[in-house]
Amino acid sequence: MTSWLKSREKPLQAVHLALGRAGYAKSYRLQHQLHALRCQGKIPDTILTVVHDPVFTIGRSGSRANILVSPEVLTEEGISVYEVERGGDITYHGPGQLVVYPIIDLREQGRDLKRYIRNLEQAVIDCLEELGIVGTRRPEFPGVWVDGQKIASIGVYVKHWVTLHGLALNVAVNKAHFGLINPCGMEIEAVSLNDLLEEAVSLKQAVAVLLSKMEPLFGWQFTKGEVKEFLQERT
């Protein structure tokens, strides 16, 4: 770990808010609400976990040209589309995928965006290792890969040194939905944890393992919170 992390006398307090399954618009609004509160110093680092209804999100360098089907097909499949401010191109979120949104102040993490992204990747790689899977990076392409297939996507946005968006880890996703796009603007194949494991893991198990790997990387100590109560206490 870096010297600024080693020098801490005690861990940073961080709150985990589990949203369960939620539409994209709801969690997007919540991210921005929490971002404003974090910028004002009214909340500590806060990590959202969520499973989205089917959605394609398009980042700043993305294009709707990477959607390979008509709007009518998207309607039939129940897939919505959002253009957002994160980096990267197009990706898919949906049932069977764990999405993690850290709303954190990078001024307490060395003011280093590249390190932040590498730590997100490392948390996934460490999670995979505990489950017996070897995950790797690819230069110039944020995310985590297993034998050339993408198992986790990363796309972030930072304003006033506070982060938005984050990572998505495939646990047991609908591959047919991934097939409706060029993920990340490339012709790549997605893979899920449960494609690679003899004994399937649940989303709840994936959350527990991944967060346990994030804690030491970011110097956090997690407490659990409920969204309604958490916001009422701070707004």
Strand duo 149-159 + 162-170: pairing: antiparallel
Q: List strand residue ranges (DSSP E) for 104-205, in order.
A: 136-138, 141-146, 149-159, 162-170
Q: Which of 106, 123, 102 is nearest to 46 (CA)?
A: 102
Q: Is 127 an active-site residue?
A: no
Q: Which of 184, 193, 203, 210 is catalytic?
A: 184
Determine how β-strand 12-22 pairs with β-strand 220-225.
parallel
The Cα–Cα gap between 118 and 126 comes to: 12
CA 117/CA 142 separation, integer angstroms:
7
Hey, which residues are catalytic here?
184
